[in-house]
Amino acid sequence: MSRFASSRLALLTPYAPGEQPQDKKYVKLNTNEAFFRPCPGVFAQVGEIAERLRLYCDPEAKALTRAVAESLGVREENVLMTNGSDEALAFAFMAFCDGDTGVRFPDVTYGFYPVFAALFGVKARQIPLGGDFRIRPEDYCGGSGTVVIANPNAQTGIALSRTEVEKIIKANPGNVVIVDEAYVDFGAESCLPLIDKYDNLLIVRTMSKSGALAGARIGCCLGCRELIADVKTVKYSFNPYNVGTMAQAAGAAAAADAAYYAEKTGQVRENRAELCKGLEALGMEYLPSLANFVLARAKGVPGEKLYSMLKERGVLVRHFGGRIEDFVRITVGSREEVAFLLACLKEILS
Ligand SMILES: Cc1ncc(COP(=O)(O)O)c(C=O)c1O
């Protein structure tokens, strides 16, 4: 730390992104990226955009906002586009989390929530998942402080039903409930139909996973007009040109091709079922995921060892500490990738 660093920095443990190795080619199942390509329209759009890069991008990302609103069946006033959903979350923390009332989220969830809480000086309360690694809605009913829930939850893949999330929203009329739907397109119920009903519901989405556009950095906030206006105030106080021209074009093309993505996310579900069947056949335990990853453990092989042994064989998965240190998180890959991973696991476990 330099002698100029703000005192806040001493308290920060920055988020550690998953490995993005450049040394050799891995079967890369560690950061929940799509195994499929973006839709054809993305390729056409991005190639033509170089000419426009001389100019600033549209700060309102109008075409992208319109395309996303249309694809989700909401009004444009309900949408704010962001540079990845990490930025959407950061804006939401800045807009809706006060230092002392604080923020509440599960003890096992997306690792950026505690980082944002520390960065923005917001008191964080981590609420333990149940023994079955499920979020217990009743733990978030009542009390004070913004609630942040990933649904499906990050790292476990377990989803709450819309009715369960609605129970939390209803029980927190004085607090904003942020529902991070990064993985919702892989089979869970979205809370989108509730944004007109509750003025305290803010949904965060990303095109990084089901949109196969992780490198483009496109996310959004969805909510009632007043909440979106608040997040917009943060955006225009921080980075007005937050979504670049290429990302805007790529995102609009992706939002317009629902049929392509419905087919691809269907493939993810099929491959997820194949992966789970294979894990079961190997005697491994896994959590019931509705996301594009599965958290799994093998009896007698510590999670970290499993991670290393897979890496030696050219397969990257993710290992976390804490309550899920016995597990590895496996992104659902293509059929071939799933087969290769299962073959490696079979070799390791035999
Ligand atoms: C639950 C959850 N939310 C948000 C993000 C951030 O995604 P991005 O910034 O790529 O949109 C991730 C990334 O892994 C995630 O797992």
> Count of domains in the chain?
2
For the CA of 85, the nearest atom of ligand 1? 11
Mean pLDDT in the chain?
96
**Mutate which of 93, 105, 209 to test ligand 1's pocket (most atoms within 8 Å of Cβ)?**
209
Binding pocket residue ranges, ligand 1, CB within 6 Å = 32, 84-86, 110, 150, 154, 180, 182, 206, 208, 214, 219
Q: Which pLDDT does position 11 carry in this prediction?
A: 85
Backbone angles phi, psi at 291, to 5 degrees: -110, -170
111 Cα–ligand 1 center, Å: 9
Question: Over 90: is that where the pLDDT of 4 sits?
Answer: no
Range of the domain at 168: 40-257
Same domain, 289 and 338: yes
For the CA of 183, the nearest atom of ligand 1? 1
Question: Over 80: is that where the pLDDT of 101 sits?
Answer: yes
Q: Confirm whether 2 is domain-assigned.
A: no
Weakest mean pLDDT among 71-85, 88-102, 187-201, 255-269: 88-102
Confidence of residue 246 (pLDDT cuts 50, 70, 90): very high
| Rg of the chain on CA atoms, in Å | 20
Question: Over 80: is that where the pLDDT of 18 sits?
Answer: yes
Same domain, 13 and 137: no
Same domain, 251 and 327: no
220 Cα–ligand 1 center, Å: 11
Question: Over 80: is that where the pLDDT of 55 sits?
Answer: yes
Q: Confirm whether 274 is domain-assigned.
A: yes
Alpha helical stretches, state H, 189-292 = 225-235, 245-255, 258-281
Confidence of residue 167 (pLDDT cuts 50, 70, 90): very high
β-strands 293-297, 315-316 pairing: unpaired
Mean pLDDT along residues 339-348: 98
**Mutate which of 29, 68, 86 to test ligand 1's pocket (most atoms within 8 Å of Cβ)?**
86
Q: Which pLDDT does position 335 carry in this prediction?
A: 98
Dihedral sign of CA atoms 143, 148, 152, 156 in order:
negative
Same domain, 68 and 199: yes
Distance of CA 231 to the CA centre of its chain: 18
Mean pLDDT along residues 156-167: 98
Confidence of residue 344 (pLDDT cuts 50, 70, 90): very high
Mean pLDDT along residues 133-143: 96
Q: Confirm whether 116 is domain-assigned.
A: yes
Q: Which pLDDT does position 47 carry in this prediction?
A: 83
Same domain, 44 and 142: yes
90 Cα–ligand 1 center, Å: 11
User: pLDDT, tens digit, for every residue of 256-302?
Assistant: 999 999 999 999 999 999 999 999 999 999 999 999 999 999 999 99
How far is residue 200's CA from residue 198's CA, in Å, rounded to a whole number? Answer: 5
**How does 279-318 read in b/e, with b if 16+ C-beta sit within 10 Å?**
beeeebebbebbbbbbbbbbeebebeebbebbbebebbbb
Same domain, 139 and 56: yes
For the CA of 219, the nearest atom of ligand 1? 11
Please say whether the beta carbons of 250 and 37 come within 8 A: no
Give me the CATH number covering residue 311: 3.90.1150.10
Please say whether the beta carbons of 330 and 298 come within 8 A: no
Question: Over 90: is that where the pLDDT of 8 sits?
Answer: no
Q: Which pLDDT does position 241 carry in this prediction?
A: 97
85 Cα–ligand 1 center, Å: 6
Q: Which pLDDT does position 172 carry in this prediction?
A: 97
Give the whole-number percent of the chain exceeding pLDDT 90: 91
For the CA of 110, the nearest atom of ligand 1? 1
Q: Which pLDDT does position 148 carry in this prediction?
A: 98
How far is residue 185's CA from residue 211's CA, in Å, rounded to a whole number? Answer: 9
Q: Which pLDDT does position 206 carry in this prediction?
A: 98
Same domain, 50 and 140: yes
| Identity of the amino acid at 117 | A
Same domain, 312 and 167: no
Same domain, 280 and 311: yes
3-class SS of residue 176 = coil
| Final residue before a domain boundary, out of 227, 257, 287 | 257
Q: Which pLDDT does position 204 carry in this prediction?
A: 98
| Identity of the amino acid at 47 | G
Please say whether the beta carbons of 72 and 257 come within 8 A: no
How far is residue 57's CA from residue 67's CA, in Å, rounded to a whole number? Answer: 16
Confidence of residue 22 (pLDDT cuts 50, 70, 90): confident
346 Cα–ligand 1 center, Å: 30
178 Cα–ligand 1 center, Å: 14
Same domain, 106 and 128: yes
For the CA of 86, the nearest atom of ligand 1? 9
| Final residue before a domain boundary, out of 222, 257, 292 | 257
Nearest CA to ligand 1 atom 3: 182
Q: pTM of the prediction?
A: 0.96
Mean pLDDT along residues 325-332: 98
Give the whole-number percent of the chain exceeding pLDDT 70: 100
Same domain, 244 and 335: no
Question: Over 80: is that where the pLDDT of 99 sits?
Answer: no
Same domain, 22 and 60: no
For the CA of 208, the nearest atom of ligand 1? 10
